[in-house]
Amino acid sequence: MLAVLFSGALGLHSLAKKACLFIIPSLLTEICCAPSGLIFYFDNNGYSRGEFFVIYELMYLISMIYLAVSLIIVGRRFRNRDLLTIIMVVVVLLGGIIPMTFYKINVTYVSIGISACLCYIYYNDLIQQDTKEQLVANQIKLSYMQAHIISGLSNLIENRDTETGEHVARTGRYVKTLAEDAAKDGVYTDIIDEHFIELLYSLAPLHDVGKIVVSDRILKKQGKLTPEEFEEIKKHASAGGQVVRQILEGITDEEYNAFASDIAMYHHEKWNGSGYHEQLSGKDIPLAARIMAIADVYDALTSERCYKKAIPPEEAFRIIQEGAGTHFDPELVEVFMRHRNEFIL
């Protein structure tokens, strides 16, 4: 009965229900036969086996088989069993079957031993479930922390330059749309999956975080930048990668940290190697940064800035298409052009 209860608690409901049917005839047999001494009796010598003790042995043998099957099923279902559990199962099975077979030891003790194993497995699984729940809770807290850090950095940019803040929000939507469209079109599907898109969308707001090192005089200048001022602006790419790594180090895993750093550091690289700050070219530029580059330029072209007027979307599409293979990844530009209406909307 104890084994049936624990089997049910461990999720073996079908097996437990079948075993319950065996409990009733077993209990009735004991009630009917025990007083007559046919199965067992007590005398001055203590406990003795009756003439039909074989009935008792048969019932306990069936019970033990049931328990052994339960242990095997539970062991396969819960793979994270420790070594002690495995040793307990082996010892109880061997230590019970051999004495019962060759020395006629009462199988009751074997059943109790196997039930103890089930109890231990159940207890062990409860501990694992508690540990798992704690890990999930910690992961949720970490995710919230990451989101707040990204939000804080994005707000820092927006507070310095309202236009850049709105730019951050729009480009986040653009990169997600472009990545989803690329996946639908079968482009870079070896890299782009749901996890990639989720990281890209959540980390895109950090692409311009390096602008915190650029002075307001240059950042908000109304008019064309001088070559010296443009060199200062270019520093925001490398600075952004460093800022992201320093802030996220120890808080996020390396994949998350590297992904954020790649976006901030390489979104101004160009397909032909003429970009900044490392003059990477082609597919040496991280895919996330190549997607970010298209979204960044499209929004810059179609938005009004302190130094220029916005241009119509169709004109921006023409400029980006002309930049395919020189400024931008040509495959991504094809995706962008096929789904241009989504970006207009």
| pLDDT at residue number 201 | 93
**pLDDT above 70: residue 279:** yes
**pLDDT above 80: residue 194:** yes
Q: How confident is the model at residue 320 (pLDDT cuts 50, 70, 90)?
A: very high
| pLDDT at residue number 2 | 63
Class of domain 161-344: mainly alpha
Q: How confident is the model at residue 14 (pLDDT cuts 50, 70, 90)?
A: confident
Q: How confident is the model at residue 298 (pLDDT cuts 50, 70, 90)?
A: very high
Among 16-25, 50-59, 82-91, 228-237, name the most confident range: 228-237
- In 3D space, the residue among 251, 247, 248 whose CA is nearest the CA of residue 138 turns out to be 251
**pLDDT above 90: residue 44:** no
- Reduce the secondary structure of the chain to three states and give it as a string: CHHHHHHHHCCCHHHHHHHHHHHHHHHHHHHHHCCCCCCEEEECCEEEECCCHHHHHHHHHHHHHHHHHHHHHHHHHCCCCCHHHHHHHHHHHHHHHHHHHHHCCCHHHHHHHHHHHHHHHHHHHHHHHHHHHHHHHHHHHHHHHHHHHHHHHHHHHHHHCHHHHHHHHHHHHHHHHHHHHHHHCCCCCCCCCHHHHHHHHHHHHHCCHHHHHCCHHHHCCCCCCCHHHHHHHHHHHHHHHHHHHHHHCCCCCHHHHHHHHHHHHHCCCCCCCCCCCCCCCHHHCCHHHHHHHHHHHHHHHHCCECCECCCCHHHHHHHHHHCECCCECHHHHHHHHHCHHHHHC
**pLDDT above 70: residue 321:** yes
**pLDDT above 90: residue 98:** no
The segment(s) of the chain belonging to CATH 1.10.3210.10 are 161-344
Instruction: Convert the pLDDT of each residue in 116-153 to its tens digit.
Output: 666 666 666 666 666 677 777 777 776 776 776 776 77
318 by Cβ neighbours in 10 Å (0-12 / 13-18 / 19+) ranks as: middle
Q: What is the mean pLDDT of the chain?
A: 80
**Residue 175: both structure tokens together:** 């990169």
**Residue 98: both structure tokens together:** 């051999």
Q: How confident is the model at residue 74 (pLDDT cuts 50, 70, 90)?
A: low
**Residue 315: both structure tokens together:** 């004109």
Among 29-33, 69-73, 110-114, name the most confident range: 29-33
| pLDDT at residue number 190 | 95
